[in-house]
Structure 1
Amino acid sequence: MADALKPEQMRTYFALTEAVSLLQYEVRKQLQAEGGLSYVQFEILAKLVDAEGRSLTMTDLADGVVYSRSGLTHQAGLLERDGLISRRASPDDQRATVVDITKAGRARVADVLPGHVDVVRELLFDSLSDRDVRTLGDVMSRARDHMRARPPRSAAPRRRAR
């Protein structure tokens, strides 16, 4: 059996998970109220905006968004139905699906972004000094990079239905 977490590790773990849950709860509420978006839909749109005109594949999105493949496909379908993204077969790889954000998708992100920034600033950054923000960013980047060093979820074999 593995050793238990040290008390300071346990305190840090629970503080982190609670802070993330509280922040995500308010962010989800804001995104739904102001843009009719789920958190993962906003994440997909934001990654496409961040791609600066480059198309992303569904695999790129799956590797960047922490969400199940089937769930991601469903959310992408909803975004496509609402005219916020378009999907097409890749001209380079017939197994890949390419995703682009539409003008309407960019507009939706622009609509919800000010409120999103307000929620994040108020709940996360208002209680931290500039030094705290740098330190937290450095620590969380190291933790994220450590977790991302594992093979991407898209590389994991798919489970077959029984």
Structure 2
Amino acid sequence: MSDPVPPLDPAELSAYFSLIEVSSLLRHTVEQQLKDAGGLSYVQFQLLATLGDSPDDSLRMTDLADGVVYSRSGLTYQVGLLERDGLVRRSPSTDDERSVTVTLTDAGRDVLARVFPGHVEVLQERFLESLSPEDVTTLADVLGRVRDHMRTIPPRSARPRRRHS
């Protein structure tokens, strides 16, 4: 029989609920801005921005899924919508014949350029305005450590696939 899990103390519980509420409030505002400025969902923006930050504006589908922590089937659907709208293109990977590479198009770059100013404005007004530069540094450090710890045990959708022999 395993030992009972100790309850969270009030500070831990407060930190958790604050993180969840901040995340929900910020995401709601960001999603509305992205929809209004570029007709994008939050996930589509994440995909385009991740591609825009990658070398050659391209990533293999599996690397893209791992980077944004999204299910492979959901990613395939979202990339299909972005491809339909001319914002990305898919092609066979030059490194692995079983892989597909997704590349940001000029139209995709244009949409990112259109949504980014409003996106930054939302982040500044809703998230960063109440923080000092020191707070931002501390928060980036703390959340970076939590992210790195959580990435050691990724969700099932973000785990590398097992190869069948």
Relative to the length of structure 1, the TM-score reads 0.92
Partners in 2 of 1:102 and 1:54 — Cα distance?
8
Aligned structure 1 segments of 4 or more residues deviating by more than 2 angstroms: none
Q: State the one-letter code of the partner of 1:105.
A: G
Task: Kindly indicate whether the alpha-carbon contact (under 8 Å) linking 1:62 and 1:154 is maintained by their aligned counterparts in 2.
Answer: no
| Segment drifting more, 20-29 vs 67-76 | 67-76
Does 2:26 match 1:23?
yes
Task: Kindly indicate whether the alpha-carbon contact (under 8 Å) linking 2:57 and 2:104 is maintained by their aligned counterparts in 1.
Answer: no
Partners in 2 of 1:25 and 1:54 — Cα distance?
27
Once the two structures are superposed, residues 56-75 of structure 1 have per-residue CA deviations (whole angstroms, 9 ceiling, x without a partner) of 00011111112221111100
Q: CA deviation at 1:149?
A: 1.8
Q: State the one-letter code of the partner of 1:82.
A: D
Does 2:107 match 1:112?
no
| Segment drifting more, 30-39 vs 50-59 | 50-59
Q: Which runs of 5+ in 1 are unaligned?
A: 158-162
RMSD: 1.3
User: 1:63-102 alignment to 2 at 5 Å?
Assistant: 63-102=66-105
Relative to the length of structure 2, the TM-score reads 0.91
Q: CA deviation at 1:154?
A: 3.5
Q: What residue in structure 2 maps to residue 160 of structure 1?
A: none
2:91 counterpart SS class = strand
| Segment drifting more, 107-116 vs 63-72 | 63-72
Q: State the one-letter code of the partner of 2:137.
A: R
Partners in 2 of 1:45 and 1:116 — Cα distance?
14
Once the two structures are superposed, residues 125-147 of structure 1 have per-residue CA deviations (whole angstroms, 9 ceiling, x without a partner) of 00000110000011000100111
Q: How many residues of Structure 1 are paired with residues of Structure 2 in the alignment?
A: 157
Identity of aligned residues (%): 55
Q: What residue in structure 2 maps to residue 147 of structure 1?
A: 150
